[in-house]
Structure 1
Amino acid sequence: MENGCEIPWSEGRWTHEPVRVEQDGDDLLVEAAEGSDAWRTTSYGFVHDTEHALVCPMPQDSAVEVGFVARFEEQFDQAGIFLRAAEDCWVKAGLEFADGTPQVGAVVTNPASDWSVAPVPQWVDRRVTIRASRSGDAVTVRARVDDEDFRLVRVLPLPEDAELEAGPMVCAPTRAGLVVRFTSWRSTAADGSLHP
């Protein structure tokens, strides 16, 4: 996987404006609104379309990486990457504090949401990177902490001709005051294959 190039924070547009955005050196501090979330229907019966995602176009045969510091402590605190093709066709992937522990996972929505997670309690207060690689009719999501190897999170279908936008995402469904420090946003070449 190539290093690629940094995407300036100023290049993106917010799907929904956060409470506060502040640049701190090269990092971006983003405060989420209480109740912000992205979900459609499944199991809960509601539609939430209030996530804070800073997105720009993601062409075919490319990948996007988002880095942030994982300081979560309240139910459903979350950050990661958001990929949006339409109001009812999107993906959020990243780290979410659920049921007392950080979980790495993804929500895939087309048009109803699903959710898959795996506990990663050792990722607290560390630098997390989420990577989404787009090739053909699929997106491959990987994640890592610090400089460890990327681990596979999800492979999901996406129409080849979808006009996709992607970038950093933060939500705080249950509380006010969540601030996430995003450390990087970069574009790279798509993964050469699913397996190393």
Structure 2
Amino acid sequence: MDLTGWTWLNEPRQWSADPLTVHADAGSDFWRLTGNGLVRDNGHLYGVSLTGDFTLTATFSGEYSAQYDQAGIGLFTDGANWIKAGVEVFDGKRQASTVVTRGFSDWNLALTGDFDRFTISADRQGDAVWVRYGVDGDEPTTLLRKAYFPPEATVKAGIMVASPDGEGFATQFHEVQLTQLP
């Protein structure tokens, strides 16, 4: 996993590079307005800025415990335009999750059954991002979401964690791969 040149958006109080383990701070999140009027932009994203088409894939496991504990990947253009995708706890279950924000956050979940490791990928192709997942060594082939994303915008792409309602938790990223496409 080569993360040369990667930097933090909202560096957490505790993390380590080898193995890549991130402890989400309590009260951290990315969310914008929908349903509760809150704007939260203090989630943790470790990534690199780029333009054009790319594929970002991460395999990880977490010690989720509280409602909305989440980990995965993020594509961040600015405070009003971003995507986060991965695993989120909702109603006591770990679920595949995607939030697409274009002024307002739009959230979807999918039940996945039990798993130890989760793999999420985001494929940016022109004006669309395809989000897919797999569990326990399966390739990320199950489509979770296809969403519009500004095609010319520079994006900070990388791993993401947050714990909006919990006391924080640890996530270990076992593999992260970012490939620019021609």
Equivalent position to 1:186, from 170, 177, 181: 177
Q: CA RMSD in A?
A: 1.5
AA partner of residue 128 (structure 2): A
- Counterpart of 1:156, as a letter, is A
The one of 7, 11, 32 aligned to 2:5: 11
Q: 8 Å contact 1:101–1:120 — kept in the other structure?
A: no
Partner in structure 2 of residue 193 of structure 1: none
C-alpha contact 1:63 1:189 (8 A) present in aligned 2:
yes
Shift of 1:136: 1.1
Contact 1:70–1:128, Cα closer than 8 Å, also in 2: no
Instruction: Write the deviation string for residues 79-116 of structure 1: whole angstroms up to 9, x where unpaired.
Output: 00010111100011010011010110200000100100
The residue number in structure 2 matching 1:194 is: none
Q: Size of the alignment, in residue pairs?
A: 180
TM-score normalised by the chain length of structure 2:
0.93
Structure-1-length-normalised TM-score: 0.86
CA shift at 1:189, angstroms? 5.6
Q: Gapped runs of 5+ residues in structure 1?
A: 1-5, 191-196
> What CA deviation, in whole Å up to 9, does each residue of 1:102-146 have, x standing for no partner?
1102000001001000112312xx111110011111011111112
Q: 2: CA distance between counterparts of 1:143 and 1:71?
A: 19
Give the Cα separation in 2 of the matches to 1:172 and 1:90: 18
Deviation at 1:29?
1.2
1:152 aligns to 2:143 (yes or no):
yes
Amino acid at match of 2:158: G
For 1:134, the equivalent position in structure 2 comes to 124
Which aligned segments of 4 or more residues in structure 1 are displaced greater than 3 angstroms?
none
Tell me how far apart the structure 1 counterparts of residues 53 and 166 of structure 2 sit (CA, whole Å).
Answer: 37
Q: Which letter does structure 2 place at the counterpart of 1:80?
A: G
CA deviation vs aligned residue, 1:33-86 (integer Å, no higher than 9, x gap): 110001000111110111001010243221111121143222111100010111
